[in-house]
Amino acid sequence: MKLPPRTVERLSKYRRLLSKFRDMEEAHIFSHKLASMLNLTPEQVRRDLMLIGLNGNHRKGYNIKALIELIGNTIDREEGHNVALVGIGNLGKAVLGFIHKAETKMNIVAAFDTDPQKVNTSIAGVPCYNASEMEKIIHDKAIRIAILTVPPEAAIPTTSQLLHAGIKGILNFTSVHLDVMPDIYLKNYDIITSLEEIGFFIKN
């Protein structure tokens, strides 16, 4: 099923929010309630859910457990995805800790760094390898997604290593613009740009 990236992003947010309600007595939720908690319109929620083949009950709304399952069947890979984290500095450790606490089928199975004090250790249960071993480990562990948390000066050469090793998707936490082929899915997360955007809209 092909879906717009923004729709997939919202579906992920719906599921995380709905997971807080699944064990409560209230088994259903209306689109307007889901929309209000995510600052969306009910129409947007209904359009997203219609794209994955779901229509709500006008009297009861959407069945929460069924909706969580359907979203999972749509956006997840049944066996999950093996992920590598590249760069175990403060940011890398924070990202690793956040993902470990989340309910997700994204499994961080390897970390890479160049610091001899980190290499051949286990960080939050994830083995850390020397960056020079990247191609072998990525191949052996069938890793297709990488999270990039390296210093800016290392972003471009590290990306080249990752692509050469067979990585197909990158979540880029650096501020560096990365040029990748069209068949590589690149998602940028720039903290400074996000903060400056907020600053602009609240300055008056």
pLDDT-derived band of residue 24, with 50, 70 and 90 as boundaries? low
Q: Domain map of the chain by residue range?
A: 5-74, 81-194
**Based on the number of CB atoms within 10 Å of its own CB, is 42 exposed (0-12), middle (13-18) or buried (19 or more)?**
middle
Kindly report, residue by residue over 126-151, the tens digit of the pLDDT: 999 999 999 999 999 999 999 999 99
Q: What CATH number matches the domain at 81-194, 1.20.1050.10, 3.40.50.1980, 3.40.50.720, 3.40.1390.20?
A: 3.40.50.720
DSSP class of residue 89 equals S
Nearest to 105 by CA among 64, 132, 74, 131: 74
Asked whether the beta carbons of 160 and 152 are under 8 A apart, the reply is no
The answer as to CATH 3.90.550.10 being correct for domain 5-74 is no
Question: Looking at the whole model, is its pTM more than 0.75?
Answer: yes
CA 121 – CA 62 distance, rounded (Å): 46
Kindly report, residue by residue over 117-128, the tens digit of the pLDDT: 999 999 989 999
CA 168 – CA 186 distance, rounded (Å): 9
Alpha helices in 19-106 (DSSP H): 31-37, 42-51, 64-75, 90-101
Residue owning tokens 């191609």: 135
DSSP class of residue 164 equals H
